[in-house]
Amino acid sequence: MSRLVVSSFSVSIDGYGAGPRQSLADPLGVGGTALMEWVFPTRTFQRMHGAAAEGSEGETGIDDDYAARGFAHVGAWILGRHMFAPSRGPWPDDGWQGWWGPSPPYHVPVFVLTHHARAPLEMEGGTVFHFVSDGIHDALARARAAAQGRDVRIGGGPATVRQYLAAGLVDEMHLVQSRALLGSGEPLLAGIDLPALGYVCTERVATPRATHVVLSRRRAAAA
Amino acid sequence: MSRLVVSSFSVSIDGYGAGPRQSLADPLGVGGTALMEWVFPTRTFQRMHGAAAEGSEGETGIDDDYAARGFAHVGAWILGRHMFAPSRGPWPDDGWQGWWGPSPPYHVPVFVLTHHARAPLEMEGGTVFHFVSDGIHDALARARAAAQGRDVRIGGGPATVRQYLAAGLVDEMHLVQSRALLGSGEPLLAGIDLPALGYVCTERVATPRATHVVLSRRRAAAA
């Protein structure tokens, strides 16, 4: 079964999924890097970002297990525009190809939500960025087709996660309660009535770095 | 030094400090009891609510340590009106003496914020409820005087905690991230820029039931 999932999505103590004023210098918003401190030491992160080649194997354990689980069985991704680029509005002719360099860590088709059409962008390692300007439902349909039975993972940011949550389309969401305190930024869950949408907390495991929480949506019985 | 503290204050995964629609049947709002599930098994709670007399000694450990710490060195409490009573507006002549029966678990003076003046209420065991209708600063001044050098603890609810936080008056706040998912209710931290107010996360300890987080306010150097 192809599920729509959110994985390894960090939130601050005060409920923000990203800091304020995203820019080239602050891809996760001001202070937002603190949200991800739990993942940096993991083997999954270290290998993905080449540090393993430099002799760092990274840590295994619960944090790593969750990080790794977020990449298993994923056949396509959906990203909001800001997860792909710091620019706003019509695409500037600036050669931007995403935050991740020539070989992004996706290795599958990635569907980027945008109000401004743009030709697909084929990267090294199997990642192809497709730009979808017909809304979240169209992006999901295209991602599901591309995933060929595997899961579709929403990478973020908070606004994108919120849209899919509010539409009742997310099957499972793995949140990571970090020890970051941001003060301002993009709230993740505020104003979304998750129990009313059918979500329950199905997992909670804490580590010295973070608390992992899984929210799952009860599906109506199949007809 | 007499500090103003918030202790053992539970929040849901989605950031609520109480459920919606508080009433006599739902003192913590609908669903709000789930916020407190971490504390019920503790020795501190069991002893406080008489279960120890029935043979239940309660659990010791980290959750209990935090629960107990919240009562140490406390010389006075501040409560919002709704923490004392489910009624709203002018005090009804209903004989209400608080949620806790004839011997409340405070055993010190308790200052209840209200817009409606009322004579003090002396209970068994040393608890005296004073009703303060001149605002949060007046309540704090009276509580500090009554505490005689010990701490003043804010018992809640969320609206009361938020007022003292926003005024920069809280020295230390111990939050308990529970696994409750409420969907609606009273947000605790939304819209309050804690880092800008000088707060930093100084402690984080997770247990199987909850994650304990302590936020402390950096004081300006004494003149």
Best residue in B181, B193, B200, B214 to probe A by mutation, most A CBs within 10 Å? B181
Mean pLDDT of chain A, nearest integer? 94
- The pair of structure tokens assigned to A222 is 């199949």
Q: Would the CA dihedral through A141, A145, A151, A154 be positive or negative?
A: negative
A198 vs chain B: nearest CA distance in angstroms? 10
pLDDT in tens, A102-156: 999 999 999 999 999 999 999 999 999 999 999 999 999 999 999 999 999 999 9
Best residue in A181, A192, A202 to probe B by mutation, most B CBs within 10 Å? A181
Claim: this prediction has a pTM higher than 0.90: yes
Residues of chain B whose pLDDT is less than 50?
221-223
A12 vs chain B: nearest CA distance in angstroms? 11
Q: What is the DSSP letter of A143?
A: H
Instruction: Answer for the pair A32, A25: CB distance below 8 angstroms, yes or no.
Output: no
Beta bridge partners of B213: B175, B204
Whole-number Å distance between alpha carbons of A49 and A210: 21
Contact B184 A200 (CB under 8 A): no
Per-residue pLDDT, averaged over A201-222, amounts to 89
Q: ipTM for the complex?
A: 0.92
Determine the angle formed by the axes of helices A158-166 and A136-147, rounding to 10 degrees.
Answer: 90
What is the helix (H) or strand (E) element at residue B62, kind and residue range? Answer: helix B62-69
- The pair of structure tokens assigned to A101 is 């360099």
Whole-number Å distance between alpha carbons of B70 and B55: 24
Tell me the one-letter amino acid at B53: A
**Nearest partner of A220 among A203, A192, A205, A198, judged by Cα:** A198
Which phi and psi (to 5°) does residue A47 adopt? -70, -40
Contact A182 B192 (CB under 8 A): no
Beta bridge partners of B212: B176, B205
pLDDT at site B1: 77
Contacts of B179 in chain A (CB under 8 A): 201, 204, 213
Beta bridge partners of B174: B214
A9 vs chain B: nearest CA distance in angstroms? 13
Whole-number Å distance between alpha carbons of A220 and A168: 12
Q: What is the DSSP letter of B92?
A: P
Mean pLDDT of chain B, nearest integer? 94
Per-residue pLDDT, averaged over A175-187, amounts to 97
**Nearest partner of B200 among B172, B178, B159, B177, judged by Cα:** B172
pLDDT tier for residue A223 given thresholds of 50, 70 and 90:
very low
CB pairs under 8 A between A and B: 75
Instruction: Answer for the pair A153, A78: CB distance below 8 angstroms, yes or no.
Output: yes
**Nearest partner of A79 among A50, A112, A52, judged by Cα:** A112
Instruction: Answer for the pair A35, A210: CB distance below 8 angstroms, yes or no.
Output: no
User: Is the pLDDT at A49 greater than 90, yes or no?
Assistant: no
Whole-number Å distance between alpha carbons of B73 and B71: 6
Domains of chain A and CATH, by start: 4-86+102-217 (3.40.430.10)
pLDDT in tens, B27-82: 999 999 999 999 999 999 999 886 656 667 899 999 999 999 999 999 999 999 99
- The pair of structure tokens assigned to B60 is 């010791």
User: Is the pLDDT at A53 greater than 70, yes or no?
Assistant: no
Contacts of A17 in chain B (CB under 8 A): none
Residue keyed to tokens 């210098």: A25
Contact A194 B15 (CB under 8 A): no
pLDDT at site B223: 40
- The pair of structure tokens assigned to B143 is 């509580």
Tell me the one-letter amino acid at A12: S
CA atoms within 13 A on the CB side of A218: 10
Beta bridge partners of A11: A177
**Nearest partner of A190 among B175, B192, B29, B28, judged by Cα:** B192
pLDDT at site B49: 80
